Amino acid sequence: MQIKAFRRPDGTYGIRNKILILPSVGCANETARSIAEQVDGAIYVPNPKGCGQVGKSLEITRRTLLGFASNPNIYGTIVVGLGCETVQPQALFEEIKNHSLKPTELLIIQDEGGTVRTVEKGIRLASAMAQEMSKQQREPADISCLLLATNCGGSDATSGISANAALGYCSDLIVKEGGSVILGETTEFIGAEHILSRRAKDDNVRKNLLHIVHSLEKEFIEKGIDLRGANPSPGNIRGGLSTLSEKSLGSIVKGGTSAVNEVVKYAEKPSQKGLIIMDTPGYDIESVTAMAAGGAQLCVFTTGRGTPIGNALIPVIKVTGNPRTFENMRDNMDVDASSIIRGTQTIAECGDQLFNEIIDVCNGKLTKAETYNFSESAIYRPQEPWCSW
């Protein structure tokens, strides 16, 4: 099966064509935003950090920023730095340029002489890039080029037996067509990791999967944190979920029945095809952000109670299996999977419907979140060593 997409120099295919104005540090956020707002086709993703970071936190920020620019939906990138930050803009620029092979430019506010001059130059650079981008046409691409992000948020008692189940069926279809699917939210593997690990393609993948779950549990115990304070969340409980294990059993269904072929870090690009586990937190925005940085071209987001979030880099398709939620939040929901609950569609039939929706979105159909220009983004940050209180 084929879709129509934009071919990139590295051989990947994007389903959207966007210019990324990328701040390397929080001090450059407003300057980057000012450039993006003036150029059609340009987007900006805020970066709250980029300076004063060390160790794992710095590593994650750098990997995520590089991943943003490398995402197949991005035509080209303009890095906007301050000049004195820990994530050095010149080094980030060189890495993006060499890694993605896409059009890449660099602006350093301190070198350009302040915000006004930087914005003026940035608009000229982005406008020229936009003109070149407008010449590019979609071309046929095999669905095997697709990397689908999956996420669930605001889960309730309908999620695991309707929307998540339909997405799992759809995930299997994509894998059978040669594509890839990311399953994340490590906190929502707890209590079901023994089931998920049985599907690992080999002992090494099984070991890595169990490692990320057990390491997370160990961290909670060592810090004296009761995970039950947030997972299941108050909304999950009001929606009918009683325990973390119950929530996890419903969550892992999104990954279908395919073998788990790889476990990757937060925002890391997979090296294998098929079903991929990414180590992301249970916080929805940070999780979707990581998958976009890992190269996913779009996300299917299932929700029982409803959520409006989107993402600047990738389309986010909202699916609910709760009929009340679909009626109450029609402005935000793309697919109604409540037919499974009502008994008017099977899981397979609803999964096929969702698969067709994915194809339509790949070919240019806007999601509800895209029509509102919703662009939520947040990079996960491990606790800094000087903030242990």
Q: Is 216 helix (H, G, I), strand (E, B) or coil?
A: helix
Whole-number pLDDT of residue 137: 97
pTM across the whole model: 0.94
Whole-number pLDDT of residue 247: 77
Whole-number pLDDT of residue 388: 45
Whole-number pLDDT of residue 53: 86
In Å, how far from its chain's centre is CA 297?
9
Q: State yes or no: pLDDT of 157 exceeds 90.
A: no
Q: State yes or no: pLDDT of 301 exceeds 90.
A: yes
pLDDT tens digits, 248-280: 888 899 999 999 999 999 999 999 999 999 999
Residues with Cβ < 8 Å from 292, sequence gap 6 or more? 67, 68, 71, 149, 299, 311, 313, 314
Confidence of residue 385 (pLDDT cuts 50, 70, 90): low
- Rounded mean pLDDT of the chain? 93
Q: State the DSSP H helix or E strand holding residue 274, giving kind and residue range, or none if neither.
A: strand 274-278
Distances (CA, A) of 254 to 22, 73, 183, 348: 31, 23, 7, 13
Confidence of residue 109 (pLDDT cuts 50, 70, 90): very high
- Average pLDDT of 110-120? 98
222 vs 325 pLDDT, higher one:
325
Q: State yes or no: pLDDT of 334 exceeds 90.
A: yes
18 vs 156 pLDDT, higher one:
18
What is 297-336 written as a DSSP string?
A: SEEEEE-SS------SSS-EEEEE--HHHHHHTTTT-SEE
Whole-number pLDDT of residue 384: 56
Residues with Cβ < 8 Å from 386, sequence gap 6 or more? none
Measured distance CA(258)–CA(252) in Å, rounded: 12
- Average pLDDT of 288-305? 97
Whole-number pLDDT of residue 228: 60
Q: State yes or no: pLDDT of 95 exceeds 90.
A: yes
DSSP-H helix ranges across 223-283: 234-238, 244-251
* Phi, psi values for residue 371, rounded to 5°: -65, -25
- Average pLDDT of 216-236? 74
Whole-number pLDDT of residue 381: 87
Q: Are strands 260-264 and 274-278 parallel, antiparallel or unpaired?
A: parallel
Please say whether the beta carbons of 154 and 235 come within 8 A. yes
Distances (CA, A) of 175 to 147, 171, 259, 261: 10, 6, 10, 11
pLDDT tens digits, 350-369: 999 999 999 999 999 999 99
Q: State yes or no: pLDDT of 389 exceeds 60.
A: no
Distances (CA, A) of 259 to 4, 118, 120: 28, 49, 51
Burial class of residue 96, CB neighbours in 10 A (0-12, 13-18, 19+): buried
Please say whether the beta carbons of 6 and 75 come within 8 A. yes
Cis check: omega of the bond before 23, within 30 degrees of 0? no
- Average pLDDT of 304-333? 96
